[in-house]
Amino acid sequence: MEKTSVLFICMGNICRSPTAEGVFRRLVKNAGLEHKIFIDSAGTHAYHIGAVPDARASAAAEKRGYDLSALRGRQVSPQDFHVFDYILAMDRDNLANLKSICPPEHARKLTLFLEFSTNFNEREVPDPYYGGAQGFEQVLDMVEDASRGLLQKLERDHALRD
């Protein structure tokens, strides 16, 4: 069976998208589905290629039991549009950036990550980079909620349970 693949996207790949990757990775592991879902994250810009996640994002994640230490920043590549089934942007600006470089035949893979949220009316995960610790907590709240919704969709649409 081919894995279902999910790519989380923000601007620099050091705050929101690695947080989403870490949260979703643990949720998938806890569901026993890591052999059926491939997860990664990237940024639309090349600001932080090879960098570890922002220390504030890592600290907030660690308080909730998520480990982001193995993740490194990378920029989205043309190959990603062919490899990934779901390419989930954290905000409209990054979604627009993705749409501008996405081959038309893969445009259906692009959406906002918070489209999978059930508890938030917002559709954009705010960038916490220039704010305080509370912004990283808010990102985690949103990401945890949308991750649960995404996993439910994948289980429903891809019959992931044995």
145 in catalytic set: no
Q: Measuring CA to CA, which residue among 106, 118, 108, 111 is closest to residue 146?
A: 118
Do the bridges between strand 110-112 and strand 37-43 make them parallel or antiparallel, or are there none, so unpaired?
unpaired
Distance CA 159, CA 137 (A): 32
Residue 102 neighbours by CB under 8 Å, 6+ apart:
81, 87, 109, 110
For residue 1, what pLDDT is reported?
56
What pLDDT does residue 2 have? Answer: 85
Specify whether 10 is catalytic: yes
Q: What is the mean pLDDT of each run of 10 residues along the chain (162 residues)?
A: 92 98 98 96 97 98 97 98 98 98 98 98 96 95 98 90 58
Catalytic: which of 54, 80, 127, 161?
127
Among candidates 138, 79, 85, which has minimal Cα distance to 114?
Answer: 138
Whose structure tokens read 């549009």? 81
pLDDT of residue 162: 57
What are the two backbone dihedrals, phi and then psi, of residue 89, each rounded to the nearest 5 degrees?
A: -85, 145
pLDDT at 47: 93
148 is an active site residue: no
15, 16, 85, 91: the active-site residue: 16
Pick the CATH number of 4-158 from 3.40.50.2300, 3.40.50.620, 3.40.109.10, 3.40.50.300: 3.40.50.2300
pTM exceeds cut of 0.95: yes
